[in-house]
Amino acid sequence: MGKTLAVNAGSSTLKFKLFEVPSEEVITSGVIERIGLKDSIVTIKYGDGKKFENTQDVKDHEAAIHLMLDKLLELKILKSYDEITGIGHRIVAGGEFFTDSVLVDDDALKKIEDLAEYAPLHNPAEAMGIRAFKKILPDVPNVAVFDTSFHTTMPKVNYMYAIPYEYYEKYGARKYGAHGTSHRYVASRAAKMLGKPLEDLKLITMHIGAGASITAIKNGKSFDTSMGFTPLAGIMMATRSGDIDASLVTFLMEKLNIKDPNDMINILNKKSGLVGVSEYSADMRDLEKVQDHNDKAHLARDMYINRIVRYVGQYVAEMNGVDAIVFSAGVGENDIPIRQEVADKLSYFGIAVDPEKNNIRGVERDLSTADAKVKTLLIPTDEELMIVRDVERLAKK
């Protein structure tokens, strides 16, 4: 018996979940926000609906980790630090170095830091978190779990861009994808729900939330995915544009008198997508409430559905068929009309959702009609659980 931490460190945040292992029961979860800024916010949920909240200054990630561990003791969630037997870290970019999760040694940590140019807002903070945990709990194994590693199985024809080949050789310019841990988890659950080996299935998994990606999984491996060199590519998202003509980017830079490319990337990452089109909200729930009398909100939802359908259709063609499609993440798990409309538009492939079965949020379920040729599944994602399982798998070695 032990306890494993699943950690997600951002540039100014530290999110965590503590699991009992091997039972995989969640003991507590929390987040420290505004690290390095004045009035950092600490939230810890534990026990039977209990919550600790406080506002205080937290100067850096090391201080945040000390604070988190101290609070776990103060709240009697832990009796001592010795109960923690493993720590798993979500890492955004693993490049071509990491095809699987790894126990973090000095070499792995250096590579994570070297990959910062692929995820400048994430990898440095994640590396900082690992260093802090290794310093505070030196005898506890740390495991890095990469968003990209699941997608390293994609065939070259799917991950290469049609640009000069030397850019790939010199600079690693290729598709890496993201949300791999989520896609890996829901694919394994889908196989169990269908009662078939994952290796025998063709699946399309849809992680659609604020960030959104769609993945074709063939013979248990990532075959293609919608996100690209960065998570900006693919379908329309809450604040991200998704796919866009590169020439339009330079055209807009001229029209808007933007000199710094990063300013344009910021617009595409943070001011586009649902919020950009609707000019109202990045939250799909808000748009659903007003779409009947707000044309732009209605358009934003229609575009979102349209982009999902495009990618699913593309992946059915690429894999020459599909056994099941899977809805997951915030929108996929909770937006009943989106699921119904997507399925209705894919009826040509033998996809059909039963409206009564679909009238549910956040519960694992087969949504298909009795005569559907392709199964439609609702599977809530659990990236933290996948991280914990990787910690247990690798720490035992």
Classify strands 2-9 and 84-91 as parallel, antiparallel or unpaired: parallel
- Asked if residue 355 has a cis previous peptide bond (ω within 30° of 0), the answer is no
Residue 24: other Cβ atoms inside 10 A: 13
Selection from 177, 244, 188 nearest residue 390 by Cα: 188
Q: Which two tokens stand for residue 50?
A: 């209990």
Give CA–CA dist 391/86, Å, rounded.
Answer: 6
Residues annotated as part of the active site? 147
Classify strands 40-46 and 84-91 as parallel, antiparallel or unpaired: unpaired
Q: Which residues are annotated as a binding site for ATP?
A: 15, 207-211, 283-285, 330-334
Give CA–CA dist 108/130, Å, rounded.
Answer: 11
Q: Which residues are annotated as a binding site for Mg(2+)?
A: 8, 383
Give CA–CA dist 133/122, Å, rounded.
Answer: 17
Instruction: Tell me how many degrees the CA angle 83-145-103 measures, rounded to the nearest 5.
Output: 65
Selection from 370, 100, 324, 319 nearest residue 198 by Cα: 324
DSSP alpha helices (H): ranges in the chain? 61-74, 106-114, 123-136, 156-159, 165-171, 180-194, 246-255, 261-270, 273-278, 284-290, 295-319, 329-334, 336-345, 355-358, 383-395
Q: Which residues are annotated as a binding site?
A: 8, 15, 90, 207-211, 283-285, 330-334, 383
Give CA–CA dist 180/368, Å, rounded.
Answer: 25
Q: Which residues are annotated as a binding site for substrate?
A: 90
**What amino acid is encoded at 309 in this protein?**
V
Give long-range contacts, CB 8 A cutoff, 24+ apart: 293-302.
300/274, 301/274, 301/338
Q: Are 387 and 181 in contact (CB under 8 A)?
A: yes
Q: Are 194 and 320 in contact (CB under 8 A)?
A: no
